Chains A and B, each alone.
Chain A
Amino acid sequence: MVDEGKLISRIIQGDKNALKEIYELHAQKVYNLILNRFNDKCLADDITQDVFLTVYDKSISFRGDSQVSTWIYRIAFNKCLDELKRRKKTINRIDTASYQELEYEDDTKASVNLTAILGAVNLLKQSQKDAFTLVYLDKFSQQEASEIMSMNIKAFESLLYRARLSLQSTLSKNKGF
């Protein structure tokens, strides 16, 4: 198990290899976190670079209140929010077309496809969408996701519950759940 705190100390001392180690540990998750929000590979490249440059630049201000991984994902999440604010009206949605359609049969033979679910996620309120995406697409635990969104766990659970209800309601209108 890598001691990420020590890696941060090495980055503060200017050790570029430590930055590489941190990058290798977290780049994929950061990259997917961005990709799940914008579905734009070039933008994901740019923001991922920005995230690790911020880690390099601001490592001295890391106080160790949270885990290093949570701190990095929070930086990535905040950069996504900044980008969303910047281009408010356009790419604030997951592009469902890029995901292959996966058909799923449940016990009652009702079929749902992934595209429909992602389409319904797009219709959620921004905060609900963020909470839902962090847990179900980015695959963070609820505890981690709440820390990334700087919320307490109870408030996050409630937000996620409301997101699931809204999603279920939207899907039931479309598919008859």
Chain B
Amino acid sequence: MKSFDQSIELLSEIEMKSPPVELFDKVMERALSFDRRFLIRLVLIISLGFGMTFMVVKVGKSNQKNQTVETYFSTSYNFYGYE
């Protein structure tokens, strides 16, 4: 067992290698692009939220007046259904 333990100690002679110097720059680059993607998603979600809110408010108002809704494409929809 002693011989085995001694031979296992050989493994401690394997030197630790250092990562390349420029590796952190790559990490940084990816972190920044990660941030950018996060911001883009945030902006998209907020715009979508505002858009939907605007749409709902518009539909709500038109429902009160019993009118159809003019959309961006100028197509008329009657959200009242089949009356």
Residues of A whose CB lies within 8 Å of any CB of B are 14, 16, 19-20, 23-24, 27-29, 31-32, 35, 44-45, 48-49, 52-53, 56-57, 99, 102, 104, 106-108, 110, 112-114, 117, 136-137, 139, 164, 167-168, 171, 177
Q: Are A114 and B10 in contact (CB under 8 A)?
A: yes
* Nearest neighbor of B20 in chain A, beta-carbon distance: A45
Within the complex, the shortest CB–CB distance from A67 to chain B, in Å, comes to: 20
In the complex, chain A residues whose CB is within 8 Å of the CB of B82: none
Number of interface residues of B (CB under 8 A): 26
Q: Are A56 and B31 in contact (CB under 8 A)?
A: yes
Our count of residue pairs bridging A and B at CB distance below 8 angstroms stands at: 91
Q: Are B31 and A114 in contact (CB under 8 A)?
A: no
Binding site secondary structure of chain B? helix
In the complex, chain A residues whose CB is within 8 Å of the CB of B23: 27, 31, 45, 48-49
Q: How far is the CA of A167 from the CA of B26 in the complex (A)?
A: 39
Contact A106-B19, Cβ < 8 Å, known A20-B24, A23-B27, A137-B14: no
* Mask of B1-25 contacts with A, CB within 8 angstroms, 1/0: 1111011101111101111100110
Which A-B residue pairs are the 3 nearest by beta carbons? A31-B19, A112-B7, A136-B11
In the complex, chain A residues whose CB is within 8 Å of the CB of B17: 28, 31-32, 35
Known contacts A57-B34, A106-B2; 5 further A-B pairs (Cβ under 8 A): A56-B31, A104-B6, A112-B7, A168-B1, A177-B7
